[in-house]
Structure 1
């Protein structure tokens, strides 16, 4: 028995590469986080496209705080051990009628991490088949599959890996209620289809990496959120101030410019200029 997960759930993760429907947040917590999300969208609509993207945990103190939620970290610890870095947080929002289709991919395809990181999908709204819930192909986390590169939907200039040969008949739909969490292995083949419903789908995705992990290309960075880091394989990131402050924006820009070879941005190609979502400057 782990801190949060049962032995059956831990064994299932080792076998299938994911565990789902973990009740982490209370209804009051979901309501509070939803209010913060919607308030920012309402008050600063011109900033959501970049501020809700890569390393949102460096911009919003409440996104950082959610990533340190004790129940969430207990579940993560059961899977990757006690020394945990938060290496990314990004919003995944699909509005009604959105045609965005995140094709089959592995987050670790372009830069592998050993031991692997995990991704936690924190649902702030229902995730259903109709509104484009996450889908995972079980037992695909053992290795990186052959892939092709394409420009990601809604992610201008960012190359993303798409797995070439997928048996989609084996896909499992991870339907969730608000406050539920699904955690999947960095190698797990996953995707999510378009939102064909009238219901908005809102989630925050976190990457959690064991401090002992190492990238096979470049150096990543993260915030130490549990345990210690005696290894020194990662650059350490600052804790954000309250609000979307100038200091937070500049710190995120500095981190992404310094540690630009990370699993979200991929390896730097010959002659490539480092680009990432940011405010106009």
Structure 2
């Protein structure tokens, strides 16, 4: 028995590559996060597209704080151990009718991390088959599959790996209620379809990496959210100030410019200019 997960859940993660329906947030906590998100969207609509993207845990204090939630970290610790770096936080919202289709992919395809990192999807709204919930192919976490590179949806100039050959008949929908989480292995083949419903899908995704881990290419960075880092394999990131401040913007820019060879952006190709979503003014 782990801190939060049962032995059966932990065994299921190792067998299938994911564990789902983990209760993390109370209804009041969900309501507060939704309110913070919607208030920001209403007050600063010009900033949503970039501020909700890569490493928004360096920009928005409430994203950082959710990533440090005790129940969430208890579940992560049960899977990767007690010394934990939060190496990304990002919104993944789909409005009603959104055509965004995150095709089949593995998050560790372009840069491998050993020991593995995990990704946690925290639902702020129902995640259903109709509104584009995560879909996964159980058991595909055993190795990196052949892939092709393409531009990510809504992420201009960012190359993403798409698995070439997928047996979609094996896919499982990771249906979640608000406040529940799913955690999956970085090698798991997964994706999500367009939102065909009249309801909004809201979620925050986090990457958690064992502090002892190494990348096979370049050097990543993260915030130490539990335990200790005796290894210093990853650069250390600052804690954001409250609100979207100038300091937060500049520090995130420095981190992404310095540690640009990470699992989010992939290895730097010959002659490639480092680009990432940033303040456009």
Query: For residue 237 of structure 1, what is the aligned residue in structure 2?
Result: 237
Work out the CA distance in 2 between the residues paired with 1:280 and 1:46: 9
The CA deviation string for residues 196-224 of structure 1, in whole angstroms up to 9 with x for no partner, is 00010000000000001110000000000
Deviations along 1:92-149, whole A, 9 cap, x unmatched?
0100000000000000000000101000000000000000000010000011000000
2:2 is matched with: 2
Cα distance in 1, alignment partners of residues 235 and 33 from structure 2: 28
- Which string of whole-angstrom CA distances, capped at 9 and with x for unpartnered residues, describes residues 56-86 of structure 1? 0000111000000000000000000000000
2:110 aligned residue: 110
Q: Structure 2 CA distance, aligned partners of 1:261 and 1:115?
A: 17
**Aligned pair 1:250/2:250, yes or no?**
yes
Listed as ranges, the matches of 1:47-196 within 5 Å are 47-196=47-196
Q: Secondary structure at the match of 1:66?
A: helix
Structure 1 CA distance for aligned equivalents of residues 46 and 209 of structure 2: 31
For structure 2, the 5+ residue unaligned runs are none
Alignment match, 1:36: 36
Compute the RMSD of aligned alpha carbons: 0.4
SS of the counterpart of 1:222? strand
Match of 2:203 in 1: 203
Measure the CA separation in 2 of the matches of 1:96 and 1:61: 27
**Matched residue SS, 1:156:** strand
Whole-Å separation in 2 of the counterparts to 1:280 and 1:171: 38
- In structure 2, what is the Cα distance between the partners aligned to 1:92 and 1:62? 15
Number of aligned residue pairs: give it. Answer: 281
1-side partners of 2:33 and 2:6: how far apart?
27
Distance 1:216 1:63 in 2: 28
- Tell me what 1:226 maps to: 226
Task: Give the structure 2 partner of residue 13 of structure 1.
Answer: 13
Alignment deviations for residues 234-257 of structure 1 (CA, whole Å, 9 cap, x no partner): 000000000000000000000000
User: What TM-score, normalized to structure 2?
Assistant: 1.00
TM-score by length of 1: 1.00
Q: What is aligned with 1:212?
A: 212
SS of corresponding position for 2:252: helix
- What SS class does the counterpart of residue 129 from structure 2 fall into? coil
Give 1:280 shift.
1.6
Runs of 4+ more than 3 Å apart: none
For the residues of structure 2 that align with 1:165 and 1:32, how far apart are their CA atoms?
41
